[in-house]
Amino acid sequence: DAGVIQSPRHEVTEMGQEVTLRCKPISGHDYLFWYRQTMMRGLELLIYFNNNVPIDDSGMPEDRFSAKMPNASFSTLKIQPSEPRDSAVYFCASSLSREGWYGDSPLHFGNGTRLTVT
């Protein structure tokens, strides 16, 4: 199993540009999560999906952020327009739920995308 795959590993962009982060979850997993990690705020849950449907996006900081999961093997997190304060490491994680709830199962993380907005 290749694990959760994220691309790109590093992204450097200028303020105002659109940024798209990509994630391929582990095959068969039914939950997908996007987290953001910064020194100041730690790991923040941005949004999560169950069976490709967004369940909770209350962690998405602003309307500039959007996430999609068009199928079970692919998800994107888009920032448009990007700002310097969006600089962070963005993680995607997937999980296989038991009894319809993910909390009893471990999350499998990708290695993240380090985003730098100048």
Residues that bind other proteins (CB under 8 A): 4, 33, 35, 42-43, 45, 48, 55-56, 91, 93, 101-112
Assess contact for 7 and 22: CB atoms under 8 A: yes
Closest approach of other proteins to the CB of residue 41, in Å: 9
- Using the minimum distance from each CB to other proteins, give the nearer residue, 42 or 70: 42
Closest approach of other proteins to the CB of residue 48, in Å: 8
Q: Which helix (H) or strand (E) holds 48?
A: strand 42-50
Identify the bridge partners of residue 64 per DSSP, sorted by sequence position. Answer: none
CA–CA separation, 106 and 94 (whole Å): 9
Closest approach of other proteins to the CB of residue 45, in Å: 6
